[in-house]
Amino acid sequence: MHHKDGQWIWVHKCGKVVEWLKDDRPFRMAGTHMGITQRKQHEVDLLEANEELTKSNVELEQFAYVASHDLQESLRVASSFTQLIERNYGGQFDDKVHEYMHFAVDGAQRMQQLIKDLLAYSRLGRASIESTEIDMEQVTARVVQSLQLSISDAGAKIISGARRPGPIATIVAESHRKRDQVPKRETSRNCHRCRTAKPRVNVFRT
């Protein structure tokens, strides 16, 4: 509708014929009209914001792909050279050094897997992700292993098991290892929360 101030505005109209002529022609109508220009402008703003968000997500996914490739390559090189040193000079090292090298290789491999999982997570909504049964005892073991340094520094004690016979739990979730992040976050937070006493983290099936 063309407003009296010269601007074009959006209007929602609703009405009906309330009186007819004898020849069935409408004679009088009753109804209302309501200005919806502001609502229409919000719809346009929302559409533009969604387009910008879609563009940003595409750019972010492209960046994540490139960054993950570079990070994985660096980790692969570090892992490969560590294994090469152990293979060629392992006879000169004691058990402690072998253990340290194992930690280095294992940490690099777990970091590579984490990068792959984050890349898969960035594609949520566009690609199907397989769900599978997950043994939470294995998840707990992986979390404890990946946080071993923090646990050791804090003098923390991790206790896992079940309050009744059987495994901790088996759940159905996405097959990528992003599922490790919840128990890992909780364990890490508890290990760093208390500075004066040794933390104790209990993981139980209730």
Note whether 143 and 202 are same-domain residues.
yes
DSSP-derived letter for residue 94 is -
Q: Is residue 123 part of a domain?
A: yes
Average pLDDT value over all residues in the chain = 77
Tens of pLDDT, residue by residue over 12-45, are: 888 899 999 989 898 998 988 888 888 889 999 9
CA 178/CA 65 separation, integer angstroms: 17
Tens of pLDDT, residue by residue over 161-191, are: 655 555 566 777 665 544 455 455 555 555 5
Note whether 122 and 166 are same-domain residues.
no
CA 160/CA 162 separation, integer angstroms: 7
Note whether 117 and 159 are same-domain residues.
no
Note down the domain range covering 189.
131-206
Of 128, 154, 185, the residue at which a domain comes to its end is 128
Note whether 106 and 135 are same-domain residues.
no
